[in-house]
Structures are given as structure tokens and as C-alpha cells.
Amino acid sequence: MGISESEAMGFIGQAAEQFGGLNILVNNAAIRQYHTVTDATEESWDAILGVNVKGYAFCAKAAIPVMRRSGSGSIVNVASNCAAIASVRAVQYDTTKAAVTGLTRAMARDHAPEGIRVNALCPGPTFTPFHEQRAARSGKTAEEFKKEFGRPTMLGRPAMPREIAACALFLASDEARYITGTQLVVDGGLIAATHGYQ
């Protein structure tokens, strides 16, 4: 499961050809498995690592040579605040998101001399269409679900997708040209709070 190296090379190459180059790559794909380490199977580990880690690495491998030719580029790897805090029955997801932050630092170090910046974006709870469906299935209104979902944050609410997108856009832009190898945590203060996900 996940994108193969050849698939990544193919669609990155197509994008570069269509647009005459490549300046920005946002790696933003993930799956989540709900297991403890004793429940998790080899197949489920292969699946989540294939999407959440190898997929990012393969897309970056395809994009960096294109960026190198222009002497600059920005890669934004969407991780999660779960890279730093533990959630329940999410050992695989949390592991892969921590791996994304390590991948980010290592790529930033390797490719800074080529003018390529690499940063991680670490969102917290974000209310997406997936959560709208969860709310409906549980018999709650969207507002009721948001209140419960965002309660652990300092701001008492989840992010909306556009708030996360704005941070990705900032990291990708020239406004962030002196930022590389770091993590931008966008979680309403959840990590800084005294408690994590329940």
C-alpha cells in the first residue's frame, strides 16, 4: 500500500513538465491504524509505513533533483502533533508522524546547500469532512462534535482546514525563506497544555 517510487517519479515529473519546473512540494497523505503494539500486524505496519513515511520520502526523492536545477525549493511535510504526544491505540500513527519529523530534519540538513528548505507542519485536531461524518454517525451536531473534539486544546476548539492550509502556505512561501529543518506546531496549544488526547 502507498505510492511506489516509480509512481512518485512519474507524477512529480509530469507536474514539473506541465508547469515548467517545481518550487514547492507539500507531502500531505496519511492513513491511521487503531492498534496497540501487541495488536498491530506486520501487514498493518507495512501499510502505514508505506503511506505515511515511504510515500513522503519517494515524493521528495523525485522532487529534489528538479528543485536542485533551479537552485531553490520548499518541501512541507505534514506530520502531526502526535509526533510529540501519545494518543490512545495509535502506536503506528504516532510512530510514523515522529518519523516524518526526523525525515524532515535529515532532508533539511542534506539539501540546505542546494537552496532547498524542508519543514514539518504539525497540526492538532482539525475539523474536516471526515469529522462531519463522524458527528452525523454519532448523532451529534457539527457544533457539538467540535466542542468535544477541541476541548483539550487551550483555545477550546479544533482547527478548520483553511487554518492549517495557511500555515503550509507560509512555510512554502518566500516569507519563510530563513526557516528550515523545524516543526511548526498548529494545535491550539494542545502540546503545551498539561494533558493530551483522551
Quick one: three-class SS letters along the chain? CCCCHHHHHHHHHHHHHHHCCCCEEEECCCCCCCECCCCCCHHHHHHHHHHHHHHHHHHHHHHHHHHHHHCCEEEEEECCHHHCCCCCCEHHHHHHHHHHHHHHHHHHHHHHHHCEEEEEEEECCECCHHHHHHHHHCCCCHHHHHHHHHCCCCCCCCECHHHHHHHHHHHHCHHHCCCCCCEEEECCCCCCCCCCCC
How far is the C-alpha of 56 from the C-alpha of 43, rounded, in Å?
19
> So which residues are the catalytic ones?
93
